[in-house]
Amino acid sequence: MNRMAHWLRRYLRDSIVVRVCLFIYGAIFGALGCGLAYAFVPPHSFEWLAVLLGLAMAGLGAFMLYTSTLGRLQLLERTSDFVSDGGEVLGIFLLLLVFVVALPIAAVIKFIRSPRWRP
């Protein structure tokens, strides 16, 4: 158990895990936002509010994708703090789910980027 905790702490210190988590969140928000905006096109009466909400979610997802791939460390920290706020049960479940998915992806990225792996 102690070895697993040490391994987990080592991965959490690296920004690759945070970047992968933020990328997954950005993809989820972007897809949900585009789906919501597309579901109400052409908008009738007050359905344009749903289209605006969908576009706002898609914009937030695009910002998270940009931050995770091209953003500097300061911007990455501020964005990840914004995403991790909230303590409702669904938010915590989604955070854990994204974290569990992001760990193996980050491990593969770290393995590929490792200088020991190159011939």
> What does the pLDDT look like over 21-61, one tens digit per residue?
889 989 999 999 999 888 887 777 788 888 889 999 999 99
What pLDDT digit, counting tens, does each position of 60-115 carry? 999 999 999 998 888 888 887 777 665 566 667 777 788 888 888 888 888 887 77
Tell me: pLDDT of 118 over 60.
no
Half-sphere exposure (Cβ direction) of 10: Cα atoms closer than 13 Å: 8
| Residue 35 forms part of a structural domain | yes
Give the mean model confidence (pLDDT) for residues 9-15.
71
- CA dist 102 to 19, 22, 42, 68, Å? 9, 9, 36, 13
| Residue 118 forms part of a structural domain | no
| Residue 7 forms part of a structural domain | no
Residue range(s) defining the domain that contains residue 104: 16-113
| Residue 48 forms part of a structural domain | yes
| Residue 11 forms part of a structural domain | no
| Residue 71 forms part of a structural domain | yes
| Residue 55 forms part of a structural domain | yes
Torsion angle of the four alpha carbons 67, 73, 74, 78, in this order, in degrees rounded to the nearest 10: 50
Per-residue confidence (pLDDT) for residue 27, from 0 to 100: 93
Say which amino acid occupies 39.
Answer: A
Domain count, the chain: 1
| Residue 9 forms part of a structural domain | no
What's the mean per-residue pLDDT of the chain? 81
